[in-house]
Structures are given as structure tokens and as C-alpha cells.
Copies of this chain bind each other. A is one copy, B any other.
Amino acid sequence: MPPGSGEQAGALESAIPAHLSVERTRTRRVGDNYTPPYPSYSVRFADGVSSLVCAFFGVQSKPPLSRGAKAASAGMWELCAQADGPISREHAVHTDEQGFENQVIIAYWDDTEAYRRWFNKHRDVLIGAGLILADHGRWIEAVTPDASGLETLYSSNTFPEGVARVAAGGFSGEIQEHGYWGSMRERLPRAQTEALDPAGDPFVDAGSSIIRVEPHDNLAIIRSGQDWSLCEEAERESYFGDVEPHLRAGMDFLTSEGSSIGCYANRYMTSSDGEGGVLEQSFGLSFWHSLGDMERWAETHPTHLAIFGSAMKFLQANVGAKLRLSHEVAVVARDQQYFEYNNCHATTGMLGAGRPVASHTDVTS
């Protein structure tokens, strides 16, 4: 009996869409009649969408954000409006561990070919090829996961955040695979039969002023967001008093010490309007040596256990909570990644991937 079709769990469906469901060689931790402790949703993509694009176009300078950086970001934003541009584009800002200001455009496509046409046409302008960048750096970080290498999780089905903005199929019904450790992996279609171990080593091409980093197969990426714009005062106080400090500590740990546990880079970003104003929304974005390393951190590191525990407590104490949580995870092949940096400081994003990564051995193989 396929997951979700059981009598006791009749209202639930699998996070894995029917057309990507195969006979598992790797068993789930939950049975067909498992019921999660609270509802959550995945998104569904349009029929025929077999891969997606999530791209980050960043500019960076010492604070305050330089005139050149602002102009470059504005130019990137305009390029996104060109033919074959992204379906969805957002802004975010981030002060990084070196004290640099970063402004980022996050863009999503559900058509990899359109993205390739667009990117091939605009890459030089985006990264500033041939320019001397006097007062800023630019970076591009893009992944193009197969639909089978992507999973999503949302606490609300009326909140199309991140990749959900390009999910023409809208939200799923309540899904079954959440609320337990290991569920992230069990929502990933590829993980029905694959261990998703990393293979190969990062390679840095620093032949010019523009540095290209080529990581390895099965790099894992997570974007995990929270939106408190709808929260009433009491809930807001509880979030900022009891939950967000733990979240910030965990993000700080990943940013400063993540390389010791398999996290290449982490940014704790705030959504913004692109004109200096911030929204009531934040997200963490991190790149990992493997999904297994991400699991190890989430499941055993005190910083994440504190985040998870405080969030669980918060959700129980605030029934009908208005805080909206979103999460998207991709595991990508080497050729589904693009990391390029021009005039950026040495630990920007995957530029730091040359640092030793003394990760735990991967949990699954």
C-alpha cells in the first residue's frame, strides 16, 4: 500500500509526487499509518517540470553598501526582467562575518533551458567580466536541481515563499513525511533508492580576477525561512524572546565554525525591498558537503537542538501560531552548480570551500 493511501492516514499524501515515486530500496522510518503531530505541506510543480533553478546574484562592499554595489544590484534586478528571466525574484540583505554588507537577488526559474539562454546572454554583465570593480564585489551562486533532488516543507499552505513562487501545481495536501528526524531525506525522491553521498573534491579556478569554484557531486543546499509579519504582539515577543536567539546562535555557529562539521558556508539573511528597507522575514542559506553532514548537525549539535526544541515549544505554546516557516533542500550534481566570485573577500560563500572540511563521515551510504 503506497504511503498516504492507508485508512488511518487517508487525509495525508506523500511529499514525493506520484510521478517520482518508485519502489524504495531504502526504507522509511515511518509506517503508512504514521500521523505527524501538526500539518505541513510541500509544493507541486507543473507537469513536465523536471528541474528547477535557484540563483543568488550578490553584491558586496564594506558598509555602507557602496554606490557601485547598489548600481550593480539594480542592474542585475533589471536583467531579471529581460526575456527568459526568472519567474520569481526577491531581495535580501546580509552583513557577513567579515563585516561586509551583501545585497542579494534570489531568482527562481522552473525552466532550466530558459535559464541557460538567459544566463549565457547575461553572465558577463552579472559578474562584471572585463570591469575593474573599484568599490564592490559580485557573486553568483546558482543550483539547478532535478525535481527528484529537491524537497520542500511549509507550515502554511497559503504562503508561497521561495521556490513555492514558481510551483505551478500549488501546495500539496497535508504531507506525511515530517515531524521526525530523517524526514528531510524521506521527502527527497532521489533518496528512495540513493544514499546521496558526496563524491569528488572542490576545485577552484582562480585563473583570472573572477574565481570559479566547482564543488562536487551531491552538494546539499538548504534555504530555511521564517516570516513573522502576521504575528500578533505576544507571539512576536515569544518568537524574538525564546526562538530567534537560538536560531541566531545556530546561524552564527555555522557561519564561523561550520567548516568543522561539513558546512561550507552559511548566511543568515533578512528579506528586503531592495531599497534599504527590510521585511519581517529572514532565512538561513547554507551549502553542505553532504546531506548526511546536514543531518548530523541538525540532529546532534546543541545549537540546532536548541533551535528545534524552542520551535517545538513555541508551536505548542502558540496554538494557531502565525509564524510561517518554509524550507527547501536540494542535493545537486557537480554540473548543476555554478559558483563565481569577482573581487569578493576570501570567505565569501563557496570561496571558503578550499578550507579543510573535517566533517563527520556521512551518516548514510
Which parts of A17-67 form the interface with B (CB within 8 Å)? 25-27, 29-35, 37
Instruction: Provide the residues of chain B in CB contact with A181, threshold 8 Å.
Output: 180-182, 299
A362 within 8 A of partner (CB): yes
Choice from B29, B292, B300, B312 contacting A301 with Cβ under 8 Å: B312
**Beta-carbon contact of B29 and A364 below 8 Å:** yes
**Beta-carbon contact of A363 and B29 below 8 Å:** yes
**Beta-carbon contact of B312 and A29 below 8 Å:** no
**Beta-carbon contact of A302 and B309 below 8 Å:** yes
CA distance A179 to B299 in the complex (A): 9
Contact with B along A1-23 (1 / 0, CB 8 A): 00000001100000000000000
Which parts of A251-305 form the interface with B (CB within 8 Å)? 292, 295-296, 299-302, 305
Instruction: Provide the residues of chain B in CB contact with A310, threshold 8 Å.
Output: 302
CA distance A309 to B195 in the complex (A): 27
Instruction: Provide the residues of chain B in CB contact with A123, threshold 8 Å.
Output: none
Instruction: Provide the residues of chain B in CB contact with A8, threshold 8 Å.
Output: 361
Instruction: Provide the residues of chain B in CB contact with A292, threshold 8 Å.
Output: 31
Chain B nearest Cβ from A11, distance in angstroms = 13
Which parts of A133-153 form the interface with B (CB within 8 Å)? none
**Beta-carbon contact of B30 and A27 below 8 Å:** no
**Beta-carbon contact of B180 and A296 below 8 Å:** yes
CA distance A316 to B302 in the complex (A): 9
A313 within 8 A of partner (CB): yes
CA distance A309 to B32 in the complex (A): 30
Which parts of A322-365 form the interface with B (CB within 8 Å)? 360-365
A101 within 8 A of partner (CB): no
Question: Closest residue to A315 on the B side, CB-wise?
Answer: B302
**Beta-carbon contact of A35 and B312 below 8 Å:** no
**Beta-carbon contact of B302 and A305 below 8 Å:** no
Chain B nearest Cβ from A190, distance in angstroms = 15
Question: Closest residue to A195 on the B side, CB-wise?
Answer: B31
Chain B nearest Cβ from A192, distance in angstroms = 11
**Beta-carbon contact of A365 and B34 below 8 Å:** yes
Question: Closest residue to A295 on the B side, CB-wise?
Answer: B180
A118 within 8 A of partner (CB): no
Instruction: Provide the residues of chain B in CB contact with A363, threshold 8 Å.
Output: 29-31, 34, 180
Chain B nearest Cβ from A302, distance in angstroms = 4
Chain B nearest Cβ from A9, distance in angstroms = 8
The 8 closest A-B pairs by CB, nearest first: A31-B365, A305-B309, A181-B181, A302-B313, A35-B361, A27-B27, A26-B27, A302-B312
Interchain Cβ contacts under 8 Å between A and B, 9 examples:
A31-B292, A32-B365, A34-B364, A34-B365, A179-B300, A180-B363, A302-B310, A305-B309, A309-B309
